[in-house]
A and B are shown apart, each in its own frame.
Chain A
Amino acid sequence: MSRAQPRRDALWMGAAIAVLLVALLSSRWWLGDTPGQMHFDARLAAPSLDHWLGTDALGRDLWARTLAGLSLSIGVGSLAALIGTFIALGMALLAMLGPRFDALVALVIDTLLSVPHLILLLLIAFALGGGTQAVIIAVAVTHWPRLARLLRAELLQLRHAPYIAMSRALGKSQCFVMVYHYLPQVLPQCVVGALLLFPHAILHEAALTFLGVGLDPSQPAIGLLLADAMRYLSSGVWWLGLFPGLGLLLVVLSLERLASHWRHAL
């Protein structure tokens, strides 16, 4: 309830979640090839001590596959969020160059926002012909407009600030004003924006792979694991559907909470 609390909380949460993310990302190395190993004696096995979360139809360990899938999701999500943030920042700065650029950027933003995210994702993934790269680019391209709109609004308020007029009057170049006045003002927003994009990017990556347009089927992405689980759902194989989604939920939830804590703290 106290006003000073959010900063401290954000720090702790940030540390805890960073550890979690690093552990998940590094799982690729310490898991080795377990996600792909097939155990034909234990196909569609329910969770047990041998296979904590059970196995799939080819006897592959779901725990290892979920970890690998989350690691992939985090990798794809963070890259997409990063690229998206850069596009947003670039577009917002571009809009500052003059009214024509501003109108152009606004039109691009409006256009991209008017197509539902998932449809746009499908279109872009289709245009790029699928694969991990296509997913990253699709997620980045669909997610920047909201952040760009926010940054643009922020910068528009700055444009008429007296110190910027002063800086111009003193003969500073457009470039100088961009780098030394505009950029520092929106950097904190960018950090929070990237953090907020991250969980969304992960969710959309999963959705895209679930629909089967995304990643290469040999990679254990969460969406693919769940799409696979769909086939065994009616025979009551609950673990294949439950656990990968639960893992995804936990990762997204912790990122989401972290992002909103940081937003309040900054």
Chain B
Amino acid sequence: MLTIEHLTLQLPYYAPWWRRRWAEVLSDVSLELHPGEVHAVVGASGAGKSLLAHALLGLLPEPKRQTGRLTFHRQVLTAARQRQLRGRELALIPQSLDALDPLVRSQRQVSWAANRAGDARANAWQAAGQALTHYQLDERSKQAFPHELSGGMARRVLVAMAHVSHAQLIIADEPSVGLDPQQRDRVLDALAALARQGKAVLLITHDLRHALPIAQRVTLMRQGRCVETAFASAFQGDGDTLATDYAQALWQALPDNHFGVTPTAQAQNVA
């Protein structure tokens, strides 16, 4: 559905004496997302995961330098097309809960999202109500302001906002962060359900363990580069089928897998 080919992104920073320099934050990233699949992008903070999400939606502010090719449904995804498709075909579940407007009740916010996706006002309000019910938010929560909701509930409001857009591609940026295990599973299940409906889900997370239960494919990112893309099934046993040392090391370093710190992993971490 979405193909990313050799995406490279440079952002400016300022050296002394007011000289502008460019820092490469994404280098030669290539990915392919398929309908009906949850594709996880896993990496430490600063690996460029969120920037990738924002680049896909065309949300990065100028000035920036971006090269490479994005294709959506076999058509090149230009900035103009991104603007057209945002909220209709492409949806974002943002990382931070302060993406919710603190002064607007949940149902109204969700109905705005539906309205922006092309629903008429009355329909949008209904669709919002249904979507919130779908994500197990009761009437009281629908009329609540974001600060009155728990973290898990607010997160589900954000998922509902992506849900009402009927987008084919959903990018979820760290949807599991800061939630207790039960709430986290609820949110992850919701994403898996969206994929079962035939949508493509790009799941961005720093924790491999959260991604594996629902993802079909996993891409590991490190310092703006794709290290490896593997099937989720490859992450089992000793991880022998994984192609790169980094992936193997990451897998073995998980608590359930003998906490192994291999020499390669140490070397990588130092680097």
Which A residues are in CB contact (< 8 Å) with B20? 2
What's the tally of chain B residues with a CB closer than 8 Å to chain A?
4
Distance between A7 CB and nearest chain B CB, rounded to angstroms? 8
Of all chain B residues, the one with the shortest Cβ separation from A3 is B14
Which A residues are in CB contact (< 8 Å) with B14? 2-4
A2, A4, A5, A8 — which one has the most chain B CB atoms within 10 A of its CB?
A: A4
Q: How far is the CA of A5 from the CA of B20 in the complex (A)?
A: 11
Of all chain A residues, the one with the shortest Cβ separation from B12 is A2
What's the tally of chain A residues with a CB closer than 8 Å to chain B?
5
Which B residues are in CB contact (< 8 Å) with A8? 18
Which A residues are in CB contact (< 8 Å) with B12? 2
Distance between B210 CB and nearest chain A CB, rounded to angstroms? 35
Q: How far is the CA of A4 from the CA of B17 in the complex (A)?
A: 8
B12, B18, B20 — which one has the most chain A CB atoms within 10 A of its CB?
A: B18
Q: How far is the CA of A3 from the CA of B12 in the complex (A)?
A: 10
Q: How far is the CA of A5 from the CA of B17 in the complex (A)?
A: 10
Which B residues are in CB contact (< 8 Å) with A4? 14, 18
Of all chain B residues, the one with the shortest Cβ separation from A8 is B18
Contact with A along B11-51 (1 / 0, CB 8 A): 01010001010000000000000000000000000000000
Which B residues are in CB contact (< 8 Å) with A5? 18
Q: How far is the CA of A2 from the CA of B18 in the complex (A)?
A: 9
Distance between B16 CB and nearest chain A CB, rounded to angstroms? 9
* CB-CB contacts below 8 Å: A1-43 with B: 2-5, 8
Distance between B216 CB and nearest chain A CB, rounded to angstroms? 42
Distance between A6 CB and nearest chain B CB, rounded to angstroms? 10
Contact with B along A52-78 (1 / 0, CB 8 A): 000000000000000000000000000
Distance between A130 CB and nearest chain B CB, rounded to angstroms? 50
* CB-CB contacts below 8 Å: B128-174 with A: none
Distance between B103 CB and nearest chain A CB, rounded to angstroms? 25
Distance between B65 CB and nearest chain A CB, rounded to angstroms? 15
Of all chain B residues, the one with the shortest Cβ separation from A5 is B18
Of all chain A residues, the one with the shortest Cβ separation from B62 is A1
Distance between A171 CB and nearest chain B CB, rounded to angstroms? 41
Of all chain A residues, the one with the shortest Cβ separation from B19 is A4
Q: How far is the CA of A10 from the CA of B182 in the complex (A)?
A: 54
Distance between B62 CB and nearest chain A CB, rounded to angstroms? 9
Q: How far is the CA of A4 from the CA of B12 in the complex (A)?
A: 12
Distance between B90 CB and nearest chain A CB, rounded to angstroms? 28
Q: How far is the CA of A8 from the CA of B12 in the complex (A)?
A: 19
Q: How far is the CA of A8 from the CA of B14 in the complex (A)?
A: 13
Which A residues are in CB contact (< 8 Å) with B18? 2, 4-5, 8
A3, A5, A8 — which one has the most chain B CB atoms within 10 A of its CB?
A: A3
Distance between B23 CB and nearest chain A CB, rounded to angstroms? 14
Q: How far is the CA of A8 from the CA of B16 in the complex (A)?
A: 12
Q: How far is the CA of A67 from the CA of B12 in the complex (A)?
A: 47
Distance between B22 CB and nearest chain A CB, rounded to angstroms? 13
Contact with B along A234-260 (1 / 0, CB 8 A): 000000000000000000000000000
Q: How far is the CA of A7 from the CA of B260 in the complex (A)?
A: 50
Distance between A30 CB and nearest chain B CB, rounded to angstroms? 38
Of all chain B residues, the one with the shortest Cβ separation from A1 is B63
Distance between B70 CB and nearest chain A CB, rounded to angstroms? 26
* CB-CB contacts below 8 Å: A123-146 with B: none
Distance between A5 CB and nearest chain B CB, rounded to angstroms? 7
Distance between B248 CB and nearest chain A CB, rounded to angstroms? 41
Q: How far is the CA of A243 from the CA of B12 in the complex (A)?
A: 46
Q: How far is the CA of A5 from the CA of B19 in the complex (A)?
A: 10
Which B residues are in CB contact (< 8 Å) with A3? 14
Distance between B265 CB and nearest chain A CB, rounded to angstroms? 37
Q: How far is the CA of A85 from the CA of B94 in the complex (A)?
A: 46
Distance between B11 CB and nearest chain A CB, rounded to angstroms? 12
Of all chain A residues, the one with the shortest Cβ separation from B16 is A4
Q: How far is the CA of A111 from the CA of B20 in the complex (A)?
A: 50
Distance between B101 CB and nearest chain A CB, rounded to angstroms? 27
Residues of A within 8 A of B (CB): 2-5, 8
Nearest 5 CB-CB pairs, A to B? A4-B18, A4-B14, A3-B14, A8-B18, A2-B14
9 example contacts (A-B, Cβ-Cβ < 8 A) are as follows: A2-B12, A2-B14, A2-B18, A2-B20, A3-B14, A4-B14, A4-B18, A5-B18, A8-B18
Sample of 7 more A-B contacts, CB < 8 Å, known A2-B14, A5-B18: A2-B12, A2-B18, A2-B20, A3-B14, A4-B14, A4-B18, A8-B18
